[in-house]
Each structure stands twice: as structure tokens, then as C-alpha cells.
Structure 1
Amino acid sequence: MGKEIERKFLVKGEFRNLAHKKTRITQGYLCSVPERTVRVRTKGDHGYITIKGIGNESGASRYEWEKEISVEEVHDLLKICEPGVIDKTRYQVKAGPHTFEVDEFYGENQGLIVAEVELSSEDENFEKPGWLGEEVTGITKYYNSMLMKHPFTKW
């Protein structure tokens, strides 16, 4: 918990064969205003509720709080979420000392693949694998809370 520092990129090449783990994720938003997003999600056979604050100027850093809840509780809360559930597979791909989380979206966001890397500081160096595309850190239309309202297939 605390501050989260992430950089976000589009994916332009093949990464699936490099992944050491993949998990199906379904999530909805109880609140999606930028100042405080409240998300519920199932991640494999686990459930979570997550609250995120607004990002800093660069969009790379923001407050995050998360708590594990039951999958049943997530399914109950999804019934009262805002319209537009996010459905994706998350792949974990190592690159040097870092692990990229690569999300491949389905449904109304089909065709979008985004990679995130978590860093200990905003200026930390990290290996950029060949499949990594354009950086989209801080571009709000790529946030899951925005993809729910304005899906990729409608851009």
C-alpha cells in the first residue's frame, strides 16, 4: 500500500511465449472519478477491492490501497458497479530485474494490449524489451477506468 510508480506502454510485438504466468481478470468500478477510483476484481480465484487516488503531474505515481475480499463479494459488488466491466488476461513477463504486467483486453476493448512496469522511483532505469511500443504513461484514455466508459473499439 502507499504510493505506486508505474510506466505504461503499448505492445507492438510478440510477448506471450516469454510470459511465466498468466491470469484472467474481470473488474468493475464502483467509482471511476479520477480523484478516487474504487475497483473490484477477480484475479484467477481471488477477489480484491482497490482504491486509487489521483495521479501526480507525470501520471506515473499515485496512492493505492488494496484489500483481498471473497470472489462472492466481488460478484455481489459487480452488480452495483458502473456500466462497462473490464475483461482481460494479464501476462507476467520478466525483462532484466523487472517484471512487466501485460494486459490483453477482450470484449469492447479487444485489440488493445498494454504493458506496465512498476518502479521504485520515477527516473529508475529499466530494460525495454523489443516488443514494447510507444509509452502512454499518464494518458488517461488508457486507464482501465476510462476504457470502461470509452472502449478501445469505439476510438
Structure 2
Amino acid sequence: MDRMADTEAAQAAQPGPSSPLRLLAIRDTPLSVDEVFGAVSDAAAGGTALFVGTVRDHDGPGDAEVTGLGYSAHPSATDELRRVAEKVVADFPVRALAAVHRVGDLAVGDLAVVVAVSCPHRAEAFAACRRLIDDLKAEVPIWKHQTFGDGSEEWVGI
């Protein structure tokens, strides 16, 4: 699976001005927790939940040492991200939602995904944020390619 071209990797859905979908993007540049957190700021929200996924130094069979990791995305990934986000907004009282996923080669410790949801109350924010990250990982066509210290490799999410 080839990596998306730089111009395709910086895809971003453009939410409307009154939409709770504030930021949806797939990028080949480093992610910012501050950007995502700022995007879901809303005076009517009493709770904001944020999830940050980072590249860890081990994974796969037997918790093997990760020596390289790259993410690739299908050209439809941004549309699918929007569909997942719209389902979360339909099922929860979301005031604001943001989700950004990285593609390309990443190092241990790099941010791979950042999502956040603001709702009137904390329980709703936690539940909506959990659904957002779980559905993003299950339904958005983004694939992880890992190489390990023993020379083996695996694709995840295909």
C-alpha cells in the first residue's frame, strides 16, 4: 500500500460555521493537542473529553520492539471520518467535536490521533469521545504498518 501523496495527506473536511463538527482532518504533519482542544471550546459545554493516541515502543506478537511505523489512508478516509463524526453527533448531545489522524512515517512518542468532544455534561463527553475514537479506529480506512526489532513486520487495520 503506497502512502498518499502529500497533497492528499492533508485532507480536511470543511465543517459549516454552526456545525458541531469543528475540525476533521487527516494530515502528514505533526498533530497538536492544543489545536484540537481549542477547536472544541464551547461556552455551553460543561464537559470536554480528549483522547491522544501515541506511537508506543512495543506492539504486536509478544509485545515486540517497534522500530518503525507508518500510517496510510484510503482517499475516502476523510469522508469516512466525517460519517463517523456525524453518527456521534446524532447519538450524543455534542456541542463541538474534533478529530485529526496522522499519516506517513512516525517515531516512537509521536501523536498518531487526537480526538475531542464537548458536551453539556462530563458523562456524555466521555461516552461520545470513546465512541468517536473506537469508531474511527474500526471504520475509517487508515492502516498501520509496523516493523519490529527482529525484522518482522505487520499491517494493522487492513
User: What TM-score do the two structures reach when normalised by structure 1?
Assistant: 0.26
**Going by fraction, where is strand more abundant, 1 or 2?**
1
User: What TM-score do the two structures reach when normalised by structure 2?
Assistant: 0.26
Structure number, greater radius of gyration: 2
**Going by fraction, where is helix more abundant, 1 or 2?**
2
